[in-house]
Structure 1
């Protein structure tokens, strides 16, 4: 048996996306037990503790992809611009084109989803393990300061 802690932020801005992540777990795994707790924070959220096991023929998780800046809220645009600034500085330091680090769609999706840890970055469409390993901690730090 395995466990996973997820959160569902109680905000129109995040709730549907967070619920999609939880529902993805319900689709991909056999859930043995679920425990929840309401956490009062800057953004209130439900902490969801799942006890689960692998399903036979486990399918891949749904991936999050934002295609246009018009899909972002004002707050998400602020985060997106911080991410673009970081990407520009990183590409200058590494002497590689910025799109090699992350495409704009990656940054928009990160700004929308706001992964809280490295593992959550796997839900962003187009982010492979190498990019997550190489740049994930920088992204999490930027999101923590946002």
Structure 2
């Protein structure tokens, strides 16, 4: 069992970003136990104490993967860069780190496989239902304009 302590600052400037980090963490790991405590100080925050385990890595045969070691073609690199630009804009609008929106590996997979609809997006490794619902239409739009 592993332990992680996160801080959720209660301020308009940081709260959304801190919550996104926590949500990403909760999604990536198998949570055993979680405790919270409100800390009142110069900057009020929730302290979140998490006991967790690594999730078992499953090999999903029906999903496609693009590894970091694979080189993208020139066309795929153009798409990848457009997706990175889109992600940077989304991150800026949402006041989140870009990796919370999508990791580079996800963008590489999208660039390699060029999904044209929501069903195709579901077959790209690492793209969950929530992110597809939230960003799917915009991703397809970026791909169509590439």
Question: TM-score normalised to the size of structure 2?
Answer: 0.57
> Which residue matches 1:104?
104
Quote the Cα distance in structure 2 between the aligned partners of 1:143 and 1:99: 19
Two-structure CA RMSD over aligned residues (Å): 1.4
Quote the Cα distance in structure 2 between the aligned partners of 1:70 and 1:121: 20
Question: TM-score normalised to the size of structure 1?
Answer: 0.57
SS of residue in 1 equivalent to 2:80: helix
SS of residue in 1 equivalent to 2:125: coil
The question of whether the paired residues in 2 share the 8 Å contact of 1:64 and 1:123 is answered with yes
Quote the Cα distance in structure 2 between the aligned partners of 1:87 and 1:141: 13
Classify 1:145/1:75 alpha carbon distance in 2 versus 1 (closer, same or farther; 3 Å).
same
1:45-124 correspondence to structure 2 within 5 Å: 62-68=62-68, 70-124=70-124
Quote the Cα distance in structure 1 between the aligned partners of 2:105 and 2:88: 15
Give ranges in structure 2 of 5+ residues lacking alignment.
1-59
Which structure: larger Rg?
A: 2
> Which residue matches 2:36?
none
Greater mean deviation of Cα atoms: 64-73 or 131-140: 64-73
